[in-house]
A and B are shown apart, each in its own frame.
Chain A
């Protein structure tokens, strides 16, 4: 039993970066002799267990911090696309759930600056037996909708086929891949908002938009199934250029003022942000948790550094007696604490980056998290926090060392 434990310990210690650093430190000393750098290096890794634990705890906190910042970015910043600035969504002023009269189309079309417009109605169905389907289905006017597709391309099938066949649909490549579908396959949906079911044939596939998951079908089919209520969910507009977008928004709102169905038009981006803001105050929540994480991180680093220094109070007293000045001692301590924090940041941030880049989160979270991109900016903020901590952690022990008298230090037993 004891032998096995020892062997495991030995293998684990080989895995630890500290063991390698220890070896490197010895090599360094052999080649370059004893200088300030090798002195710091040897000191940092002389208690391998403590150094490893410090690095790992800084690393886990850094990884958590990076993950939280990424989560916040994912939830608060909708993916931007070139077409988004050109597109406008007009909904009923009462709320998104209240439909608009289909007859508004004639008015919207004539508004100067509007290049294309299509009805855009959220169907909210569940795909073949699923409890909660994560991709959206929209009813559109296929011929008009074509003009709204600024980015993305038809990767399979033909759009003309989609326009021709009233029972067909236009599907995103991600959804095709996820369910292993091909052109000509059927997709069945059970309505949750509408009391009707859909049975659609896949006619064309699109790829290259910010979200390649949606399913689009004929608004005529939805009207037919619902007994022609003469309503649409929202209007989806495209304007001639980004400069006129604000004027067009004002014109659309004005056109239906004081009518029975007043309209609220906003840019696609503003529309998405509005949706996100309803989730509650995500930003405050993630920021306050990040604050607690940084606080914990600080405690860990500070406590370890002061432990490391207290352990060798006697040595530092000897250095002082030998004539090293406070400044020198401070730089030794600072270099060690900064080095350990930097290594922890490297492991933690790199680990988080690798994890979130190579893991298929979209599949794991059923499409809730789409990109989860760890941007250079987020990694930099994690690194800055770690660097500042490394410096802060050195201050306390350095002050203690500076204040101690040599005699007292030499007497220390702890």
Chain B
């Protein structure tokens, strides 16, 4: 027969001093673990949330990212007339040749400078990205040295507000609008006219081509056609697939989270063991009494393990609550984090996200700490010789 849970609850409350210390220790470990995973999750969700499943992105064969890709004007001319490309209501082919540039801009509040991604885009390119909508001002007029920036960037860089300027080479671009990309990778970009961008930066080629096939069959046709056409030397891939792969930036946070989680949990397990051993030692007589009353060894082991897990779980709940509170603060205040994307060398702006599964993972983590930390002390309690235990003070 198992001991009533009430016994454990009351013990935890009565020995509140040691309980508090252990709970706080476990809470610290769990919150660090959850927050680091939340940073990685924020980056992943940015790239996972980008693109239209109907679109296809074309880059140079051998290049891993848009920023390292080149598409010549000849290649674009060939591509443009592919029959598989869809047409809009005005009968124009929905295809956009774009130029991705990196521009160095000063951060707000004098915090040095950082690279930002400046995309030269066409009207078709905007139709292809329904995720992006203008929230303030107007879109740029080609030829007038105008640019629109994302709302997230506008908070991070000096001069990224309507009427402000962005220096690009010998030219100054005037910010005329602010857009919102609904948490996609476009939220880390600034947009201007593609051909104007080519002339400012003195570029012959485009970086990539985004297009919309008529249907799924034409989509796979385009992909295989480019795959086999050695002359064009281009590679096509679904836009969502391309962005979903750009998650490498999240790796350092994931690795750091893993290593720290393991290292800190070792310390937490020792602390939990210490608490539980002390708890067992203090209750030697009680354990003896329980055994005399007929509770089996197994019941005693279970009892102490439940108690240890309960304490650790309380720590886990507190740790997750801390992480969620920070998450709430960040969402409400609109705080963003930036890190360098290793592929484009431009800054990716993201927000950390404590998702329900991360909370679950954090709680599970605390349970593991509790179980591992209380196993040996519980075993010891069950092994106490009954008579000696009863005699002890």
How long is the Cα–Cα vector from A98 to B31 in the complex, in angstroms?
42
CB proximity of B349 to chain A, nearest CB, Å: 10
Cβ contact of B271, chosen from A193, A295, A303, cutoff 8 A: A303
- A180 → B minimal CB distance (Å): 26
Residue of A nearest to B340 (CB): A278
- Which residues in A have their C-beta under 8 angstroms from that of B209? none
How far is the CB of B276 from the nearest CB of chain A, in Å? Answer: 10
Q: Cβ of A277 and Cβ of B112 under 8 Å apart?
A: yes
B residues 163-203 touching A (CB-CB < 8 Å): 167-170, 201-202
How many A-B contacts at CB < 8 Å in the complex? 145
A97–B273 touching, CB < 8 Å = no
Known contacts A192-B63, A262-B170, A279-B339; decide if A293 and B274 are in contact (CB<8 Å): no
Asked if residues B274 and A53 are in contact (CB atoms below 8 Å), the reply is: yes
Contact A296 B264 (CB under 8 A): yes
Q: Count of chain B residues with Cβ under 8 Å from any Cβ of A?
A: 54
Query: CB-CB < 8 A to A7: which residues of B?
Result: none
A61 within 8 A of B: yes
Min C-beta distance of A116 to chain B, whole Å: 26
Question: Are the C-beta atoms of A280 and B337 separated by less than 8 Å?
Answer: yes
Say yes or no for B125: interface residue by CB 8 A criterion.
no
Interface residue B68 (Cβ < 8 Å from any Cβ of A)? yes
CB contact under 8 A between A98 and B32, given known A192-B64, A296-B25:
no
Q: In the assembled complex, which residues on chain A have CB atoms less than 8 Å from the CB atom of B226? A: none
Residue of A nearest to B100 (CB): A97
**Interface membership of chain A positions 87-102, coded 1 if the CB is closer than 8 angstroms to chain B and 0 otherwise:** 0000011111110000
B13-52 residues with Cβ-Cβ distance < 8 A to A are 17-18, 21-22, 24-25, 28-29, 31-32
Cα A64 to Cα B270 with chains together (Å): 14
User: Does B338 lie at the interface of the complex (its beta carbon under 8 Å from any beta carbon of A)?
Assistant: yes
Contact A296 B268 (CB under 8 A): yes
Nearest chain B CB to A223 CB, angstrom units:
16
**Given B25, B233, B337, B347, which contacts A299 in the complex, CB threshold below 8 Å?**
B25
Q: Which residues of A contact B70 (CB under 8 A)?
A: 195
Residue-wise interface mask of A (43-67) relative to B, using a CB-CB cutoff of 8 A (1 in contact, 0 not): 0000001100110110011011001
| B340 and A50 within 8 A (CB) | no
A4 CB → nearest B CB, Å = 13
B267 within 8 A of A: yes
Q: CB-defined interface of B76-110 with A at 8 Å, one 1/0 digit per residue?
A: 00000000000000000000000001111000000
Cross-chain contact of B277 among A49, A302, A306 (Cβ < 8 A): A49
A300 within 8 A of B: yes
Cβ of B202: which chain A residues have Cβ within 8 Å of it? 260
Determine whether B345 belongs to the interface, using a CB cutoff of 8 Å to chain A: yes
User: Which residues of chain B have C-beta atoms less than 8 A from A96's C-beta?
Assistant: 102, 104, 115, 345
Indicate if the CB atoms of A300 and B64 lie closer than 8 Å: no
Contact, CB under 8 Å: A293 / B264: yes
B29/A296 in contact, CB under 8 A: yes
Q: Does A107 contact B (CB under 8 A)?
A: no
Candidate in B24, B64, B267 with the most chain A CB atoms within 10 angstroms? B267
Q: Is the CB of A193 within 8 A of B68?
A: yes
Instruction: Kindly state whether residue B278 has any CB partner on chain A within 8 Å.
Output: yes
Is B67 on the interface with A (CB-CB < 8 A)?
A: yes
Instruction: Find out whether the CB atom of A296 lies under 8 angstroms from the CB atom of B28.
Output: yes
In the complex, how many angstroms separate the beta carbon of A274 from the nearest chain B beta carbon?
7
B270/A195 in contact, CB under 8 A: no
Which B residues lie at the A interface, using CB under 8 A?
17-18, 21-22, 24-25, 28-29, 31-32, 60, 62-64, 67-68, 70, 101-104, 112-115, 167-170, 201-202, 233, 260, 263-264, 266-268, 270-271, 273-275, 277-278, 281-282, 337-340, 345, 347, 393
Known: A61-B267, A93-B104, A195-B60. 18 other contacts (CB 8 A): A54-B274, A56-B270, A57-B270, A92-B169, A96-B345, A97-B101, A97-B115, A191-B62, A258-B170, A260-B169, A261-B169, A274-B112, A280-B337, A289-B260, A297-B267, A300-B270, A303-B271, A413-B393
